[in-house]
Amino acid sequence: MSFFAVLLALVIEQFKPLPRDNWVHHLLVSWVGWTGRNFDAGRAHHAWVVWGVSVLAPGVLLGAVYLTIAHWSLLLALLFDVGVLYLTLGFRQFSHYYTDIRDALDRGDEAEARRLLAEWRHLDASELPRTELLRHVIEHALLAAHRHVFGVFFWFVLFSTLGLGPLGAVLYRMAEFAARYWTFPSKALGVPANQGLMAVSQQMFAWIDHVPARLTAFGFAVVGNFEEAINAWRRDAALWKHANEGVILASAAGAVGVQLGGHAAPGVTPDRSRSFNGGPTDDAAADGSTGGDPPQMAHLRSVVGLVWRSVVLWMLLVALLTLANLVG
Calculated CA dihedral for residues 309, 310, 312, 318, nearest 10 degrees: 170
Coil, helix or strand at residue 42: coil
User: Residue-wise pLDDT tens for the chain (328 aa)?
Assistant: 688 899 999 999 888 888 777 788 889 888 988 888 888 777 778 889 999 999 999 999 999 999 999 999 999 999 999 999 999 987 777 788 889 999 999 998 898 999 998 888 877 787 888 888 999 999 999 999 999 999 999 999 999 988 898 999 999 999 999 998 887 654 444 444 567 888 899 999 999 999 999 999 999 999 999 999 999 999 999 999 899 999 999 999 999 999 998 776 555 544 433 344 444 444 566 677 888 899 999 999 999 999 999 999 999 998 988 888 777 6
Residues 6+ apart with CB under 8 A from 298: none
Model pTM score: 0.89
Contact 166, 160 (CB under 8 A): yes
Write the DSSP symbol of residue 295: P
Tell me how many helices (H) and strands (E) the chain has: 16, 0
* Helix axes of 2-15 and 297-327: crossing angle, nearest 10 degrees: 150
